[in-house]
Amino acid sequence: MNAPKTVLLLSDNPGEDYIARLRSGISSTIGASGCILSSVNVYGKQESVADVLRSMTYAGVVLTPPVSDDRHILSLIEASKTPYVRIAPLLDPERGNVVSMDEFQAASAITGLLTSRGHRRVAIMRGPNSQLVSMRRYNGYTNALGAKGIRVDQALVAQGDFTRKSGQEQAAKLFAAKPTAIFASNDEMAAGIIDAAREAGISIPRDISIVGYDDNVVASNVHPRLTTVRQPLEAMGEEAGRLIGERTRNPTKPNEYKVIDFEIVERDSVADCRETVPAS
């Protein structure tokens, strides 16, 4: 019997639940190709992505954001002729095999939910500038506001880093600008904003509505439960596992680009806007 081939899931991402959901999906499909999964997340560690790749040989590699857009890492993998799959890249869509979701449309849709409930002073907690997905979600936000004739007020824009701590620390800037709703670019930052609101005596959703992005475990555990974009991470992982498994058996098979649909999950953190004064 042939020994199983090892596929590497490679990440540099603080979202542990995000990675776990992808890993679960990948693990459910790569076994059909005689592969096993090894997962390495270098976030917060001295070891670099390049160090991991150089440490041993893999039958295939699955890359998560932001590594999936790192052209240096892509070149290293291509030079080794190792099959790879990119999850949710925003650059070079024709490069390698891709499994993605429309980040722009998802951010536009969740912001549009807020404007449909009468909110015009809609703030955003952005993700880190180092991740291209932060700009894509911001652009979706501005698109939804523009569709309602609402200008972006920079006082309603704050910068986080996708961690709960950053959401809590940066929330005061947004509260000072008196939004009626906030779009947090991921659920962890949304949870941090809810923490800060509780400390400040701000009721959600009575005083401010809030939405997130990902539908991670925290979205249903936080109080109030969070309305958010559900990224189909398990389904994306399943597709990535299928693709990388096929490439380990047939490395010359043509590349594929798969788009998985998102979903808006409505829970308890959004209410109709009670303010009638238009945004400036």
Mean pLDDT of 25-37: 93
- Does the domain at 5-101+231-249 match CATH 3.20.20.80? Answer given as no
Check pLDDT > 50 for residue 110.
yes
Q: What is the pLDDT of residue 201?
A: 97
**Rounded to 5 degrees, what are φ and ψ at 185?**
-75, -5
30-34, 135-139, 241-245 — which is least confidently predicted? 30-34
The reported pLDDT for the residue numbered 276 is 54
pLDDT of 2 above 80: no
Q: How confident is the model at residue 163 (pLDDT cuts 50, 70, 90)?
A: very high
In the predicted model, is pLDDT for residue 279 greater than 50? Answer: no
| Same fold across 5-101+231-249 and 103-230 | yes
More confident call, 28 vs 3? 28
% the chain with pLDDT above 70: 97
- Hey, where are the domains in the chain? 5-101+231-249, 103-230
pLDDT value, residue 217: 92
CATH of the domain spanning 103-230, picked from 3.40.50.2300, 3.40.50.2000, 3.30.930.10, 3.20.20.100: 3.40.50.2300
Name the more confident of 126 and 4: 126
Distance between CA atoms of residues 121 and 77, nearest Å = 45
What pLDDT digit, counting tens, does each position of 222-276 carry?
999 999 999 999 999 999 999 999 999 998 899 999 999 999 999 999 999 987 5
Q: Read out DSSP for 57-125?
A: --SEEEE-TTGGG-HHHHHHHHHTT--EEEES--S-TTSSEEEE--HHHHHHHHHHHHHHTT--SEEEE
Measured CA to CA, the distance from residue 147 to residue 144 in angstroms comes to 5
Mean pLDDT taken over the chain: 93
Residue 3 has pLDDT above 70, yes or no: no
Q: What is the mean pLDDT of residues 174-186?
A: 97
